[in-house]
Amino acid sequence: MTTPSAPAPALELRGVSCAFGAHAVFDGIDLTIPPGQMVALLGPSGAGKTTLLRILAGTLPPGRGTVRVLGAELGRLSARQLRRLRQRVGFLYQTDALVPGLRTVHNVLIGRLGHWSLLRSLLSLVWPQEVERARAALAAVGIPEKLHAPVAALSGGQRQRVAIARLLAQDSELILADEPAAALDPRLRRATIELLVRLARERGRTCLVSLHDLELMGAGFDRVLALRHGRWFFDGPPGGLDAARIAELFAEERARGVEPDA
Amino acid sequence: MPERLRGVLPLLAVLVLALLALALGEYDLAPLLDPQEFARAIGRAATFLSAFGAPELGSGFLATCVRLTLDTFAMAMAATGIAIVLGLALALCTSHNVVLGESRGARRLVLQALCESARVVQDILRGVPDFAWAVILIASLSLGPPAGVAALALNVSGILARVYSELFDAVPARLLEPLRASGATRLQTFCYGVVPACGSTLVSFTLLRWECAVRNAAVIGAVNAGGLGSEIKRSLDYGEYSKVLTLLACLLLLTVGSDLVSAFVRGRLAQDPDHPLARRGGERSPGAQRASVFLLILVLVALWAWAMLHCHAAWWGNQSLEDRWQSTVQLFGGLLAPDLSLLPRAFESAVVPLSMAFLGTLLAALGAAVLAYPASATFQLLDAGFTGERISGARRAVRAVLLAAARGVAIVSRSVPDVFWALLLVSFFRLGTMPGMVALAIHSLGLLIRLFAEGADAVPLRRLEVVHAASGSRAKTYLYGAIPPCASHWVANTFFQFESNVRSGIVLGIVGVQGLGFLFTATFEWFRMDQAGTYLLVMVLLSLGLDRLSRVLGLARARIQA
Ligand SMILES: Nc1ncnc2c1ncn2[C@@H]1O[C@H](COP(=O)(O)OP(=O)(O)OP(=O)(O)O)[C@@H](O)[C@H]1O
Ligand SMILES: [Mg+2]
């Protein structure tokens, strides 16, 4: 897939397998994502989207195969190197991204912890450090006025924006997001994903976002990957996934009645 | 920038209060600050400790020790049993959620007045420390375990009633509305709305109080209420230090044992089923579950009955019931007519226990916030669950040792009652407020480490994963991922510990010959009941004030974990 002259891929999987007990989620899959690409990851529930992202994040070691993130092979890294690498990768989670009991400013500044000493991290809880950076990140996601608000006072959409602001504060080269809008109101989902993709593109970052919802397809992605039964079902531009293929992708899920409104 | 001050102001407030407490408490810091004094203090402590020699292990004495240990255990058991029933009854009368319900108008006012007066009863029971109850009851009733049981039961029921009612009131109205809307009676609302919401916190808290009763049963023994305490005091007075050592070992066995039993039971109440520390294994059928709960209750009731009978034996001794009644009426008559001209002086004497409690609790909380990190299983052994890192066997072993050490420090420091810590520390600091304050700090440190570490261990791993991914450090994950969600819970527990330490500070006053506790005991022993009554009044007012403060601050809400 890659020619020798192309820049090193941001993400690369070679023959990756992963199983929970006897249940195999993936059996030898490959993937290459060049830097700066915006990629959507699609698939029915249980297809392995979360599992794939956890493997890329290094929180779940794969059974077989090699995983390269930002040029480094995960399996060969020491714990310290893995930590260094993770600071260059930003994660966005579906829920539980914010720490309750911490004000918004601190929740954004969690993105800076990797750059700070332990002492500075402790000091920041009392006297917030690099507040301007937090303010700028919140302004970029459109809620600068929430800088000192407690998390409990934020709406669901605002929380996800704070989580995105944290990614901006972190200055990561790569963003991995697992259904970042799934917990939101349908009308907010599109806006949140669009915001994430726009901000990532402006800053030239690579982005892999798992989605469950087809509505999100027009949000400005360069490429769509679809997973089914632990294999690639589709890999191409968003326009290439027509109604018939989509129906096929989600056929079993529909039949099982997994969808909330089924 | 006032917003930035938000993190600083509470710290400043605590610092100012701490300096104030330090100034007012008349602490003799010389043994810590002056190297020469320090050397002398170490010398004193060494002489004191070497006097203990080897423990006395003669089989006759060992049999006595076993009997005394059983006495103390039975006292605590019997008292806790009575206190649960009394406390529950009282809590039902003092909880707004239960008593007021949805009543309106005049009826509501009447009920509210009833509630408030029941709260005063609660404050009296709780505010007078068990030690002071024991002094009073031994003078009026009799010597020995029955008075000890009654003293403990009165104080513990006051404490339980307060915590229960605070918990009942902390159940948010939104959980009760659907029940009330569907026409549930007050009792039904209580059984189906209130109890399920705070049940496990309630049981867990009762167990902690039971542990505390075991320790206090040993302490109040020292005023001739029998059991280990009486014998330790006697042996100390006669200088039979080798016996003291054996008795202290028995005490430690008993308190550590109850600590472990309570930890086991509370562990089974753990709430998050996804957490690696939660109970594993198959689901049990509701029938089996009910049967095991029933069995447990049966065993507890049987234990309680045994304990009551055990303590009961001395009751029918040498005095007729009528005589006892007479002396009781006389004594309480005196106490209930306090000498109010003494009030200013009595309030002044409350400064010492307040100062000791504040500084001791503060030091303990700071220490516990640091030591809860090594004492947390999540951060030492199960961290792979949120870091995804595989660590070498050697590092695992080091962490396991660290964990065991932190927990060991915690269990030893909380298992030795604060009064005994104070007695040990007197040899180092000499008589005064310093040994009392440090004793409170050490004892509370052990209690708070456990509570803080339990809080940190209950934080969902997913949340820690988020913070660890960004920070790349376990310590920073602890600071930003574990402490903030626990903070309100920790503050509530610390405040509760402070309140309990104010009472202990009063008791320690007797050992340190300072402050409220000492003045009460002294005037009581001189039969100046009007004066003793004034000191009691101040004790009650103190606990009343602290209770209302805690209700206003809404601290109980934090105890019901979501
Ligand atoms: N910790 C685990 N232990 C055992 N099986 C697991 C575990 N995590 C995931 N699985 C299984 O792996 C498969 C893939 O799960 P995964 O969470 O990756 O799916 P997903 O595509 O993210 O689904 P969803 O859209 O519902 O989030 C599922 O069949 C799931 O049951
Ligand atoms: Mg998923």
What's phi and psi for A186, nearest 5 deg?
-50, -35
User: Which range of residues forms the domain containing residue B252?
Assistant: 54-271+283-330
Residue A175, pLDDT above cutoff 90: yes
Interface test with B, best of A96, A105, A113, A146 (most B CBs within 10 A): A113
How far is residue A144's CA from residue A138's CA, in Å, rounded to a whole number?
5
Those residues whose C-beta lies under 8 Å from the C-beta of residue A151, and which sit 6 or more positions away, are: A98, A99, A100, A101, A102, A103, A104, A107, A159, A162
State residue B376's pLDDT score.
Answer: 94
Q: Which residues of B touch A100 (CB under 8 A)?
A: 484-485
pLDDT in tens, B110-125: 988 998 899 899 989 9
Structure tokens at A153: 């006072």
CA of A226 to the centre of ligand 1 (A): 15
In-domain check, residue B70: yes
Q: Do A86 and B472 touch (CB under 8 A)?
A: yes
- CB half-sphere exposure, B372, CA atoms < 13 A: 26
- Local structure of A73: helix, strand or coil: strand
State residue A262's pLDDT score.
Answer: 31
Rg of chain B (C-alpha set): 24
- Say yes or no: CB of residue A43 within 6 Å of ligand 1: yes
Query: Sign of dihedral through CA atoms B173, B176, B180, B186?
Result: negative
Sheet holding A72-73, edge to edge: A23-33, A11-20, A64-69, A72-73
Give the mean pLDDT of B242-250.
90
- Say yes or no: CB of residue A20 within 6 Å of ligand 1: yes
Report the candidate in B277, B153, B281, B304 with the shortest Cα–Cα distance to residue B220: B153
| A60, A79, A86: residue with CB nearest B469 | A86
- What does the mean pLDDT of chain B come to? 85
Q: Which has more pLDDT, A119 or B561?
A: A119
Pairing of β A174-178 and β A206-211: parallel
Q: Among all chains, which residue has been given the structure tokens 């989509």?
A: A246
A169 with A112: CB under 8 angstroms?
yes
Residue A4, pLDDT above cutoff 60: no
* Nearest chain B residue to A80, by CA: B472
Task: Determine the angle formed by the axes of helices B8-24 and B351-371, rounding to 10 degrees.
Answer: 130
Q: Give the closest residue (by CA) to ligand 1 atom 1.
A: A20
- Say yes or no: CB of residue A47 within 6 Å of ligand 1: yes
Total number of residues shown for chain A: 262
- Say yes or no: CB of residue A25 within 6 Å of ligand 1: yes
CATH number for the domain including B306?
Answer: 1.10.3720.10
Q: Report which bound ligand comes closest to the CA of A49.
A: 1
Residue B437, pLDDT above cutoff 90: yes
Pairing of β A89-92 and β A38-42: unpaired
pLDDT in tens, B357-366: 999 999 999 9
In-domain check, residue B346: no
Task: Determine the angle formed by the axes of helices B227-237 and B59-94, rounding to 10 degrees.
Answer: 130
State residue A189's pLDDT score.
Answer: 83
CA B562 distance to own-chain centroid: 23
pLDDT in tens, A24-82: 888 889 999 999 999 999 988 888 898 999 889 887 888 888 999 998 898 888 878 88
Cβ contacts from A onto B, under 8 A? 101
Q: Which has more pLDDT, B122 or B174?
A: B122
Residue B313, pLDDT above cutoff 80: no
Helix, strand, coil % (nearest 5) of chain B? 80, 0, 20
Q: Among all chains, which residue has been given the structure tokens 């001209």?
A: B341
Most confident of A216-220, B29-33, B220-224, B474-478: B474-478
CA of A15 to the centre of ligand 1 (A): 19
State residue A261's pLDDT score.
Answer: 40
Residue B270, pLDDT above cutoff 70: no
Q: Which residues of B touch A121 (CB under 8 A)?
A: 471, 476, 479-480
How far is residue B470's CA from residue A84's CA, in Å, rounded to a whole number?
10
A233, exposed or middle or buried, with CB in 10 Å at 0-12, 13-18, 19+?
Answer: middle
In-domain check, residue B29: no
In-domain check, residue B127: yes
Helix, strand, coil % (nearest 5) of chain A? 40, 25, 35
State residue B285's pLDDT score.
Answer: 64
Report the candidate in A247, A141, A253 with the shortest Cα–Cα distance to residue A188: A141
**Residue B556 — pLDDT band, cuts 50, 70, 90?**
low
Give percent above pLDDT 70 in chain B: 93
Residue B276, pLDDT above cutoff 70: no
Those residues whose C-beta lies under 8 Å from the C-beta of residue A103, and which sit 6 or more positions away, are: A148, A149, A150, A151, B6
Number of domains comprising chain B? 1
In-domain check, residue B97: yes
- Say yes or no: CB of residue A106 within 6 Å of ligand 1: no
**Residue A1 — pLDDT band, cuts 50, 70, 90?**
very low
- The amino acid at residue A179 is E
State residue B274's pLDDT score.
Answer: 47
- Quickly count: other Cβ atoms within 10 Å of residue B276's Cβ: 14
Give the mean pLDDT of B277-284.
49
**Residue B561 — pLDDT band, cuts 50, 70, 90?**
very low
- The amino acid at residue A68 is R
CA of A20 to the centre of ligand 1 (A): 9
In-domain check, residue B39: no
List residues of A whose CB lies inside 8 A of any B CB.
54, 57-61, 79, 82-84, 86-87, 89-91, 93, 96-97, 99-103, 106, 110-111, 113-114, 116, 118, 121-122, 125-128, 131, 147-148, 166, 170
Most confident of A181-185, A241-245, B370-374: B370-374
State residue B443's pLDDT score.
Answer: 96
Q: Which residues of B touch A60 (CB under 8 A)?
A: 388
Q: Closest approach of chain A CAs to the CA of B476, in angstroms?
A: 6
What's phi and psi for A38, nearest 5 deg?
-100, 115
Q: Which residues of A touch B481 (CB under 8 A)?
A: 99
Those residues whose C-beta lies under 8 Å from the C-beta of residue B267, and which sit 6 or more positions away, are: B277, B279
Residue A259, pLDDT above cutoff 70: no
* Nearest chain B residue to A54, by CA: B388
pLDDT in tens, A106-150: 999 999 998 899 999 999 998 999 999 999 999 998 899 999 998
Q: Report which bound ligand comes closest to the CA of A42.
A: 1
State residue B211's pLDDT score.
Answer: 92
* Beta-bridge partner residues of A31: A13
State residue B288's pLDDT score.
Answer: 73
Q: Do A110 and B389 touch (CB under 8 A)?
A: no
How far is residue B421's CA from residue B440's CA, in Å, rounded to a whole number?
8
Give the mean pLDDT of B492-500.
90
Closest-lying ligand 1 atom to the alpha carbon of residue A178 = 22
Q: Do B480 and A84 touch (CB under 8 A)?
A: no
Closest-lying ligand 1 atom to the alpha carbon of residue A51 = 18
Q: Do B480 and A121 touch (CB under 8 A)?
A: yes
H/E segment holding residue A26? strand A23-33
Structure tokens at B10: 């509470």
- Quickly count: other Cβ atoms within 10 Å of residue B71's Cβ: 28
CA of A83 to the centre of ligand 2 (A): 23
Give the mean pLDDT of B401-408.
95
In-domain check, residue B316: yes
Report the candidate in A199, A246, A248 with the shortest Cα–Cα distance to residue A220: A199
Q: Give the closest residue (by CA) to ligand 1 atom 27.
A: A45
| A54, A79, A121: residue with CB nearest B479 | A121
* Nearest chain B residue to A124, by CA: B7
In-domain check, residue B435: no
A76 with B444: CB under 8 angstroms?
no
Residue B91, pLDDT above cutoff 50: yes
**Residue B90 — pLDDT band, cuts 50, 70, 90?**
very high
**Residue B562 — pLDDT band, cuts 50, 70, 90?**
very low
Q: Which has more pLDDT, B124 or B173?
A: B124
Give counts: helices (H), strands (E), chain B: 28, 0
**ipTM attached to this prediction:** 0.82
* Nearest chain A residue to B464, by CA: A99
Q: Do B472 and A113 touch (CB under 8 A)?
A: yes
Q: Among all chains, which residue has been given the structure tokens 């104030």?
A: B20
- CB half-sphere exposure, A187, CA atoms < 13 A: 0
